[in-house]
């Protein structure tokens, strides 16, 4: 785990600086070590995210939380960008909204996301994002890859067809549970999450069976056995508590 | 053991005297290109024949680094007369030795007064083809480690950085970031531990400059790194080199051992307080591991995937410590800059691109090989004068620079000076120096497809736009070259390129669309004729390719 230089642990002796800046023309105040995403959410401004989850380290990888900063040509991921005094952030320009939609469309083409037969139908973050962003159809060709389902575990199963490679399972298993059963293999379009050294989940010697990976998964990729279509509702209440107990609140950076 | 300047001069003198003792010195190129066409056997044969004739004290046979004209290998040069022989075979050995001191062997002669040799200005490759890369004494005889001595004993770190800044040197790894600025930033970072990394991953298809420098003159890079360590306050360096370069790895390791033995690396170098050591780390040949944050992750033993910047490695690098990361060629430029001064270096090249650049000429060009030319040399001179033009009387079509991150430059820009900014202006980049020439038989859609396939298989898969975008673009290009495309495909192609450019996490995804975008811009008719007329203007895509 890495600690971002701007994310020092705050103490009386080492207070972080406070600053004010603008998000969507609204004045907001922040600690210098709070990400723009965090500050936006504190102020009720929603920025879509997929790989980010409070309590886990940041990856900056799904690119859905991109924002514009006045005077900066590049679009920046708000989960790993920190405010500066008087910075002007725009979270919902037409430019970023269009890009977000397209990224989402690409994610839909990548694997086989068939909502009508999915255990997470109605409770899926990918689906919710599509609704929120108004993605009514996908213009890019579907890739229809062949992916397996691993149901070898006694209580859980993974359907790679629904995976968006956010790697929340990998991070929660490593950072919160401390087991590091999950990891990723391959690269590019052939990347896939694996248990241990790509052995069936049910035979994993490191898996503690805690199920945190299932609860943090944004889609129906990881689910509890015995759930039928639309029945898999994820429970995440444990995360803030556990991360507080581990004292990792906001200081984890970059897996 | 610590070395001082007298020792250095003594080593140089002994070496020079030894060389002057020979009447004739035959240099055999033993860089990877010539080795692969038999220069190793050739060198053995020369050695044996000299020995048989009892000429051991009269004629020296020496393996040297790259002589440049890889297309005509194996190459040998007669250091005493300046004659070059090309395509030399073992059966030519007797004739070559017979001719020493008399008229050269006509049938083997490689004209050395051509533009290929004459137009080159050698700074980085000044010792390539002249010294034995496996002997530190020969490097020292060519003023080697003098710059390090000068820096350590007569300059303060800020003075060293001042010279580098004044030289105008920009990073040779691709983006052309000012080297002096990077060094200043790392020197300002407050940390008791800092690192120097030399990026020798060189993953672009068609590029072999860094390999050649490491194979031909490894000490130059080591010296540059040590100077950088002194200037920025680092005492540990890493050379990250791809494992597919076994010869470069071997020579770098040998050079490091020799440097440590002599004391130009280690503790209290030249009796000063400066300590510096270098370790070698092997990459497994992933293109993305050339990206600095992925490279750092790889050295740390993690998966080679980039992370968002900032924070930049200069502030937050290897094991969270401030880290200076430069390219092989960047470091190789440093010793001459310190020795001759930043002002001298700034006198070469153009206003914003100083010095020289090493290019690897490949593709449809007569003189395939390695050249070093001043920045600002017109493209036309590189292709036609130095490169010897297109073989087989075919017409020129385009030059691809910058590898998978660069673009295709059409004929209309042939008179453009080659420097960082001009290349950027036409939609390409300098990149690390690969230059692939294409003639009229190359289909530009097919070229774009080649590079996109490369990026697709090299994408690390971390960010969605690159992971899925490269695949979608590749599929479209397959449809176009396979005559199965629709007019809508063109718009989708542009749309996806724009998306990747603007939203990808690292440089790989952000620049992967460049080959497509430049070919779309300059060779749109080729796309259109595939789509509308189902024909390939270059006649390259004759068969209908199956779309996977
Ligand atoms: C996908 C990708 C591949 C890269 N490959 C290389 C490489 O092979 N060699 C290299 O020196 N720099 C490479 N770079 C650039 C490095 O990230 C870095 O900018 C460079 O090593 C800095 O050195 P310089 O300032 O001397 O140019 C690559 C960048 C990207 C985005």
Measured from the CB, is residue B314 less than 6 Å from ligand 1?
Answer: no
Q: From CA A42, how far away is CA A30, in angstroms rounded?
A: 10
What pairing do the DSSP bridges indicate for beta strands A88-90 and B356-363? unpaired
Q: A207 is in which domain, residue-wise?
A: 114-237
Which of B461, B490, B493 to mutate against chain A (most A CBs within 10 Å)?
A: B461
Is residue B248 classed exposed, middle or buried when 0-12, 13-18 and 19+ CB atoms within 10 A define those classes?
A: buried
Examine the domain organization and report whether A152 and A65 are in the same domain.
Answer: no
Examine the domain organization and report whether A85 and A122 are in the same domain.
Answer: no
Q: Is the separation of the CB atoms in B502 and B393 below 8 Å?
A: no
Shortest alpha-carbon distance between residue A226 and chain B (Å): 31
Compute φ and ψ for B158, nearest 5 degrees. -60, -30
In B100-245, which ranges are continuous DSSP H helix? 115-118, 136-141, 146-154, 157-167, 179-188, 209-216, 218-232
Report chain B residues whose CB lies below 8 A from the CB of A184.
303, 461
Examine the domain organization and report whether A35 and A83 are in the same domain.
Answer: yes
CATH number at residue A56: 3.10.20.740
Note whether residue A1 is domain-resident: no
Q: What percent of chain A has pLDDT over 90?
A: 80
Q: Is B496 in Cβ contact with A140 (below 8 Å)? A: yes
Q: From CA B260, how far away is CA B273, in angstroms rounded?
A: 16
Measured from the CB, is residue B171 less than 6 Å from ligand 1?
Answer: yes
Domain boundary among the residues A39, A58, A92 is at A92
| Least CB–CB distance from B499: residue in A102, A187, A189 | A102
**pLDDT tens-digit map of B258-317:** 999 999 999 999 999 999 999 999 999 899 999 999 999 999 999 999 999 999 999 999
Examine the domain organization and report whether A30 and A130 are in the same domain.
Answer: no
Note whether residue A6 is domain-resident: no
Q: What share of chain A is helix, strand, coil (3-state, %, to 5)?
A: 30, 15, 55
Which pLDDT belongs to residue B340?
96
**pLDDT tens-digit map of B384-420:** 999 999 999 999 999 999 989 999 999 999 999 999 9
Q: Is B495 in Cβ contact with A106 (below 8 Å)? A: no
**pLDDT tens-digit map of B34-63:** 999 999 999 999 999 999 999 999 999 999
Q: From CA A91, how far away is CA A84, in angstroms rounded?
A: 16
Measured from the CB, is residue B458 less than 6 Å from ligand 1?
Answer: no
**Domain residue ranges of chain B, discontinuous segments joined by +:** 22-64+76-109, 136-346, 356-439, 446-547
Q: Given a cut of 90, is residue B377 above it in pLDDT?
A: yes
**Architecture of the CATH domain B22-64+76-109:** 3-Layer(aba) Sandwich (3.40)
Measured from the CB, is residue B175 less than 6 Å from ligand 1?
Answer: yes
Note whether residue A9 is domain-resident: no
Calculate the CA B277 to chain-centre distance: 23
Mean pLDDT calculated for residue range A239-246? 74
Q: Would you place residue B2 in the very low, low, confident or very high pLDDT band (cuts 50, 70, 90)?
A: confident
Examine the domain organization and report whether A139 and A76 are in the same domain.
Answer: no
For residue B431, report the distance from its CA to the centre of ligand 1, in Å: 8
**A64 Ramachandran zone, left/alpha/beta (phi>0; psi -120 to 50):** alpha
Q: Given a cut of 50, is residue B546 above it in pLDDT?
A: no
| Least CB–CB distance from B464: residue in A2, A63, A80 | A63
Q: Would you place residue A5 in the very low, low, confident or very high pLDDT band (cuts 50, 70, 90)?
A: low
Mean pLDDT calculated for residue range B216-239? 97
Q: Is B471 in Cβ contact with A189 (below 8 Å)? A: yes
DSSP string, B350-388: -SSSBSEEEEEEEES-SS-EEEEEETT-BHHIIIIIIS-
Examine the domain organization and report whether A156 and A206 are in the same domain.
Answer: yes
Residue for token pair 């995360």: A239
Which pLDDT belongs to residue A36?
97
Q: Would you place residue A4 in the very low, low, confident or very high pLDDT band (cuts 50, 70, 90)?
A: low
**pLDDT tens-digit map of B466-508:** 999 999 999 999 999 998 999 999 999 999 999 999 999 999 9
Which pLDDT belongs to residue A9?
61
Mean pLDDT calculated for residue range B524-546? 83
What pairing do the DSSP bridges indicate for beta strands A156-159 and A149-150? antiparallel
Q: Kindly give the number of the ligand 1 atom that is closest to the alpha carbon of B204.
A: 8
Q: Would you place residue A247 in the very low, low, confident or very high pLDDT band (cuts 50, 70, 90)?
A: low
Give yes or no for B300 touching A (CB within 8 A).
no
Chain-wide mean pLDDT for chain B?
93
Q: Would you place residue B1 in the very low, low, confident or very high pLDDT band (cuts 50, 70, 90)?
A: low
Lowest mean pLDDT among B19-23, B191-195, B468-472: B19-23
Q: Would you place residue B432 in the very low, low, confident or very high pLDDT band (cuts 50, 70, 90)?
A: confident
Examine the domain organization and report whether A78 and A160 are in the same domain.
Answer: no
Measured from the CB, is residue B329 less than 6 Å from ligand 1?
Answer: no
- Number of structural domains found in chain A: 2
Name B77's bridge partners: B27, B84
Name B195's bridge partners: B236, B323
Give yes or no for B298 touching A (CB within 8 A).
no
Kindly report the protein residue whose alpha carbon is nearest to atom 5 of ligand 1.
B290
Measured from the CB, is residue B509 less than 6 Å from ligand 1?
Answer: no
Which pLDDT belongs to residue A6?
55
Q: Where are the beta strands (DSSP E) in B190-270?
A: 195-200, 236-242
Which pLDDT belongs to residue B113?
83
Q: A-contacting residues of B 237-296, CB under 8 Å?
A: 286, 288
Note whether residue A134 is domain-resident: yes
Which pLDDT belongs to residue A34?
92
Report chain A residues whose CB lies below 8 A from the CB of B308.
60, 77, 80
Q: Given a cut of 50, is residue B545 above it in pLDDT?
A: no
**pLDDT tens-digit map of A204-223:** 999 999 999 999 999 999 99
A248 or B399, higher pLDDT: B399
Q: Is B461 in Cβ contact with A186 (below 8 Å)? A: yes
Residue for token pair 């490091």: B256
Which pLDDT belongs to residue A87?
97
Highest mean pLDDT among A1-5, A224-228, A251-255: A224-228
Measured from the CB, is residue B504 less than 6 Å from ligand 1?
Answer: no
Q: Is the separation of the CB atoms in A171 and A255 below 8 Å?
A: yes
Cβ neighbours around B254 below 10 Å, total: 15
Note whether residue A107 is domain-resident: no
Query: Which class is domain B446-547?
Result: mainly alpha
| Least CB–CB distance from B459: residue in A110, A141, A187 | A187
**pLDDT tens-digit map of B172-190:** 998 899 999 999 999 999 9
Kindly report the protein residue whose alpha carbon is nearest to atom 25 of ligand 1.
B171
Give yes or no for A101 touching B (CB within 8 A).
no
* Element holding B61 (H helix, E strand): strand B59-64
Q: Would you place residue B102 in the very low, low, confident or very high pLDDT band (cuts 50, 70, 90)?
A: confident
HSE-CB at A160 with a 13 A cutoff on CA atoms is: 18
Give yes or no for B463 touching A (CB within 8 A).
yes
Name A76's bridge partners: A67
Which pLDDT belongs to residue A237?
81
Q: Would you place residue A8 in the very low, low, confident or very high pLDDT band (cuts 50, 70, 90)?
A: low
Examine the domain organization and report whether A134 and A24 are in the same domain.
Answer: no
Q: Is A254 in Cβ contact with B315 (below 8 Å)? A: no
Which pLDDT belongs to residue B543?
57
Note whether residue A169 is domain-resident: yes
Q: Is B460 in Cβ contact with A187 (below 8 Å)? A: yes
Examine the domain organization and report whether A146 and A204 are in the same domain.
Answer: yes
CATH number of B136-346: 3.40.50.11540
Q: Is the separation of the CB atoms in A215 and A234 below 8 Å?
A: yes
Q: Kindly give the number of the ligand 1 atom that is closest to the alpha carbon of B507.
A: 31
Cβ neighbours around B143 below 10 Å, total: 16
Q: Given a cut of 60, is residue A255 above it in pLDDT?
A: no
Q: What's this model's pTM, rounded to 2 decimal places? A: 0.93
Mean pLDDT calculated for residue range B68-82? 88
**pLDDT tens-digit map of B327-375:** 999 999 999 999 999 999 999 999 999 999 999 999 999 999 899 999 9
Which pLDDT belongs to residue A22?
97
Which of A7, A59, A63 to mutate against chain B (most B CBs within 10 Å)?
A: A63
**pLDDT tens-digit map of A88-135:** 999 999 999 999 999 999 999 999 999 999 999 999 999 999 999 999
Examine the domain organization and report whether A154 and A44 are in the same domain.
Answer: no
Q: Is B503 in Cβ contact with A188 (below 8 Å)? A: no
Cβ neighbours around B164 below 10 Å, total: 26
Which pLDDT belongs to residue A251?
46
Measured from the CB, is residue B402 less than 6 Å from ligand 1?
Answer: no
For residue A90, report the distance from its CA to the centre of ligand 1, in Å: 31
Q: Is B472 in Cβ contact with A141 (below 8 Å)? A: yes
Give yes or no for A87 touching B (CB within 8 A).
no
Examine the domain organization and report whether A38 and A84 are in the same domain.
Answer: yes
Q: From CA B135, how far away is CA B426, in angstroms rounded?
A: 43
Q: Would you place residue A17 in the very low, low, confident or very high pLDDT band (cuts 50, 70, 90)?
A: confident
Which pLDDT belongs to residue A16?
76
For residue B173, report the distance from its CA to the centre of ligand 1, in Å: 4
Mean pLDDT calculated for residue range B100-124? 89
Note whether residue A13 is domain-resident: no
For residue B211, report the distance from its CA to the centre of ligand 1, in Å: 14
Which pLDDT belongs to residue B187?
97
Examine the domain organization and report whether A141 and A210 are in the same domain.
Answer: yes
Q: Is A4 in Cβ contact with B456 (below 8 Å)? A: no
**pLDDT tens-digit map of B246-262:** 999 999 999 999 999 99
Residue for token pair 């990206």: B291
**Architecture of the CATH domain B356-439:** Roll (3.10)
- Residue B50 DSSP code: H
């Amino acid at each position: 785990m890495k600690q971002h230089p701007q994310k020092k642990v705050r103490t009386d002796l080492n207070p972080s600086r406070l600053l004010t800046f603008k998000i969507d023309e609204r004045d907001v105040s922040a600690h210098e070590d709070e990400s723009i995403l965090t500050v936006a959410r504190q102020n009720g401004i929603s920025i879509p995210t997929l790989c980010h989850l409070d309590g886990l380290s940041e990856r900056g990888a799904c690119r859905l939380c991109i924002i514009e900063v006045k005077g900066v040509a590049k679009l920046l991921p708000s989960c790993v960008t920190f405010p500066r005094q008087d910075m002007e952030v725009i979270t919902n320009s037409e430019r970023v909204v269009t890009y977000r939609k397209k990224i989402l469309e690409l994610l839909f083409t990548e694997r086989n996301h068939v909502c009508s037969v999915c255990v997470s139908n109605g409770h899926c973050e990918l689906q919710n994002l599509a609704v929120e962003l108004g993605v009514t159809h996908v213009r890019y060709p579907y890739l229809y890859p062949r992916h397996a389902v691993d149901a070898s575990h006694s209580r859980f199963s993974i359907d790679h067809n629904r995976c968006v490679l956010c790697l929340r399972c990998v991070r929660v298993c490593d950072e919160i549970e401390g087991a590091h059963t999950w990891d990723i293999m391959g690269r590019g379009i052939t990347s896939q999450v694996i248990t241990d050294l790509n052995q069936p989940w049910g035979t994993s010697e490191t898996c503690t069976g805690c199920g945190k990976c299932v609860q943090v998964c944004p889609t129906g990729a990881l689910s509890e056995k015995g759930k039928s279509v639309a029945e898999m509702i994820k429970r995440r209440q444990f995360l803030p508590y556990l991360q507080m107990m581990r004292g990792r609140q906001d200081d984890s950076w970059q897996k | 053991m610590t070395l001082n300047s007298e020792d250095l001069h003594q080593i140089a003198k002994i070496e020079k005297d030894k060389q002057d003792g020979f009447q004739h010195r035959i240099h055999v190129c033993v860089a990877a290109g010539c080795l692969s066409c038999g220069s190793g056997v050739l060198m053995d044969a020369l050695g044996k024949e000299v020995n048989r004739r009892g000429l051991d004290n009269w004629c020296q046979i020496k393996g040297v680094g790259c002589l440049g004209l890889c297309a005509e290998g194996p190459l040998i040069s007669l250091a005493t007369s300046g004659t070059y022989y090309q395509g030399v075979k073992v059966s030519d050995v007797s004739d070559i030795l017979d001719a020493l001191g008399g008229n050269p062997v006509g049938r083997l002669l490689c004209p050395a007064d051509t533009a290929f040799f004459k137009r080159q200005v050698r700074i980085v490759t000044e010792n390539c083809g002249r010294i034995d890369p496996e002997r530190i004494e020969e490097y020292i005889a060519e003023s080697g480690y003098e710059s390090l001595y000068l820096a350590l004993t007569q300059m303060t770190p800020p003075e060293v950085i001042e010279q580098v800044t004044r030289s105008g040197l920009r990073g040779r790894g691709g983006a052309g970031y000012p080297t002096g600025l990077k060094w200043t930033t790392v020197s300002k970072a407050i940390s008791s531990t800092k690192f120097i990394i030399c990026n020798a991953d060189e993953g672009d298809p068609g590029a072999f400059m860094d390999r050649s420098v490491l194979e031909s003159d490894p000490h130059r890079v080591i010296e540059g790194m040590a100077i950088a360590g002194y200037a920025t306050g680092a005492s540990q360096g890493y050379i990250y080199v791809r494992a597919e370069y076994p010869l470069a790895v071997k020579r770098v390791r040998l050079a490091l051992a020799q440097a440590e033995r002599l004391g130009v690396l280690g503790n209290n170098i030249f009796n000063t307080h400066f300590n510096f050591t270098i370790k070698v780390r092997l990459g497994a040949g992933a293109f993305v591991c050339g990206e600095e944050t992925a490279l750092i992750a790889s050295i740390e033993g993690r998966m080679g995937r980039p992370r968002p910047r900032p924070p930049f490695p200069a502030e937050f690098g290897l094991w969270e410590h401030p880290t200076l990361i430069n390219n092989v060629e960047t470091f190789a430029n440093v010793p001459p800059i310190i020795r001759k001064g930043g002002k001298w270096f700034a006198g070469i090249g153009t206003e914003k691109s100083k010095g020289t650049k090493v290019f690897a000429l490949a593709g449809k060009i007569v003189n395939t090989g390695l050249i070093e030319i001043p920045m600002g040399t017109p493209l036309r001179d590189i292709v036609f004068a130095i490169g010897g033009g297109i073989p087989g009387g075919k017409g020129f079509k385009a030059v691809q620079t910058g590898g998978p991150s660069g673009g295709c430059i059409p004929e209309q820009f042939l008179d453009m000076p080659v420097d960082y900014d001009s290349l950027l202006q036409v939609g390409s980049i300098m990149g690390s120096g690969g230059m692939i020439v294409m003639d009229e038989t190359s289909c530009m859609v097919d070229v774009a497809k080649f590079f996109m396939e490369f990026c697709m298989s090299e994408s690390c898969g971390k960010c969605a736009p690159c992971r899925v975008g490269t695949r979608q673009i590749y599929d479209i290009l397959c449809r176009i070259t396979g005559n199965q495309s629709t007019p809508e495909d063109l718009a989708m192609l542009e749309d996806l390129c724009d998306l990747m450019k603007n939203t990808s996490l690292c440089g790989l995804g952000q620049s992967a669309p460049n080959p497509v975008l430049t070919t779309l811009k300059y060779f749109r008719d080729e796309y259109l004729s595939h789509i509308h007329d189902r024909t390939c203007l270059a006649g390259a895509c004759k068969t209908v390719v199956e779309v996977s």
